């Protein structure tokens, strides 16, 4: 049986980060959107920003950006390690470096295998303003 639905943050607020109401989606889609929101929060956070979780988020990206394209592999490893630790719904993740989209510094595709909900694929883009943006490319629900 597949269990799904919003995370605690979305359940309390009643909406996702993009403003969409939680109740507008089925349980599986709620899970995918909740994971997307959480991953985006993690990737837009910097280490040592939370005293009680000093390894939450990514290191300062200026060093990564300064040494592109060779540093993209280092960032890919940091993303994988951090997301597997702080997004408990992830069973595994595969990250591919992609051609950089116009207006972006770096682009990845993340194939996220969720423990109970299936596969979701995100386009992940690091922007010139220092933010990370995710777009859902594909979501496949597990079927019993």
Summarize pLDDT for 19-61 with one digit per residue, the tens: 999 999 999 899 999 999 999 999 999 999 899 999 999 998 8
The pLDDT tens digits of the residues spanning 122-135 come to 999 998 888 999 99
3 pLDDT band, cuts 50/70/90, is: low
Characterize 84-105 residue by residue with b for buried, 16 or more Cβ atoms within 10 angstroms of its Cβ, and e for exposed. Answer: eebbebbeebebeeeebeeebb
The pLDDT tens digits of the residues spanning 59-69 come to 988 888 899 88
Residue range 85-110: average pLDDT? 93
- Across 55-117, where does the E strand assignment appear? 90-98, 104-114
Domains annotated on the chain, with CATH:
8-141 (3.10.450.40)
Q: What is the pLDDT of residue 117?
A: 79
β-strands 104-114, 132-141 pairing: unpaired
Neighbouring residues of 127: CB distance < 8 A, sequence distance ≥ 6: 103, 104, 105, 133
Q: What is the pLDDT of residue 1?
A: 37
Q: Output the CA torsion sign for 55, 60, 66, 72.
A: positive
The pLDDT tens digits of the residues spanning 5-18 come to 898 889 999 999 99
Residue 112: closest CA among 42, 26, 24: 42
């Amino acid at each position: 049986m597949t269990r799904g639905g919003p995370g605690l943050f979305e359940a309390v607020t009643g909406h996702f980060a993009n403003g969409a109401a939680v109740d507008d989606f089925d349980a599986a889609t709620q899970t995918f959107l909740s994971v997307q929101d959480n991953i985006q929060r993690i990737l837009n956070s910097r280490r040592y920003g939370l005293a009680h979780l000093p390894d939450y988020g990514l290191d300062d990206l200026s060093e990564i950006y300064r040494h592109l394209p060779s540093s993209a592999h280092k960032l890919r490893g940091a993303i994988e390690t951090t997301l597997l630790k702080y997004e408990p719904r992830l069973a595994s993740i595969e990250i591919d470096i992609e051609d950089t989209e116009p207006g972006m510094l770096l682009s990845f595709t993340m194939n996220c295998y969720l423990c109970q909900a299936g596969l979701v694929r995100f386009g992940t883009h690091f922007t010139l303003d220092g933010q990370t943006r995710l777009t859902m490319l594909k979501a496949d629900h597990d079927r019993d």
